[in-house]
Amino acid sequence: MNPGQSTATLSKSAPAAGARPCQVVVLISGSGSNLQAIIDHRKAGGYQLSGVISNRADAFGLQRASSAGIATRVLDHKAFTSREAFDAQLMQEIDAFRPDLVVLAGFMRILSNGFVQHYAGRLFNIHPSLLPAYKGTHTHQRVLDAGEHRHGASVHFVTPELDGGPVIRQAVIDVRADDNKDTLAQRVAIEEHKIYPEVITWFAHGRLQIDDEGVLLDGQRLPECGVQSGCHQ
């Protein structure tokens, strides 16, 4: 649920032998369960986590990062007089790590247009719905209230439109008759932990591009739903 991308084309080549691995900075605000999945997959995915930044000092994800030997930073948004001032300092903190990719993993801040454009084409978010449906918060309850039969998660490039960037990857689950918002959240989270590291791996190996018309994977134009998998469980 956060902003970033641009219409500029992102074109990366697969890393050459001995080349610097893709450097990733992750932004968090809370427990960091998606962060943990990204940490666990980093060796197999061929990317490195150069830093984890939180706007909350009590975010458990900071402990996850420290335990994995990853540098952490805390930048309290309440210490700034405006969103733009916070984002300007956040950009400085991020850029100090020289990242190739910035990943939002439960980062509960709406980002300014300036921030989004600064990381155009290299800023990802994950959202607990099948975008473009159910942007915003409380997605699991809203899906139940609407009587939907399908739900899931989406990884997308971030744009200035909230939860509006081009979708790269989706995972679909069936909504069960006995589901509540907590059971749905648990099963969606399982899928998030699979697809987020997968998309980061695609980026790290130069397989993703974005242009005015959307997303390409291995040179093939993706549909609006991105790469989609359904798990009927």
- Catalytic residue numbers read 127
Enter the tokens of residue 38.
Answer: 């990204």
What CA dihedral angle connects 127, 132, 138 and 143, to 10 degrees?
A: -120
What are the C-alpha distances in Å from 119 to residues 50, 98, 103?
A: 16, 12, 10
Contact 153, 187 (CB under 8 A): no
Rg of the chain taking only CA atoms, in angstroms: 17
Distance of alpha carbon 191 from its chain centroid, rounded?
A: 13
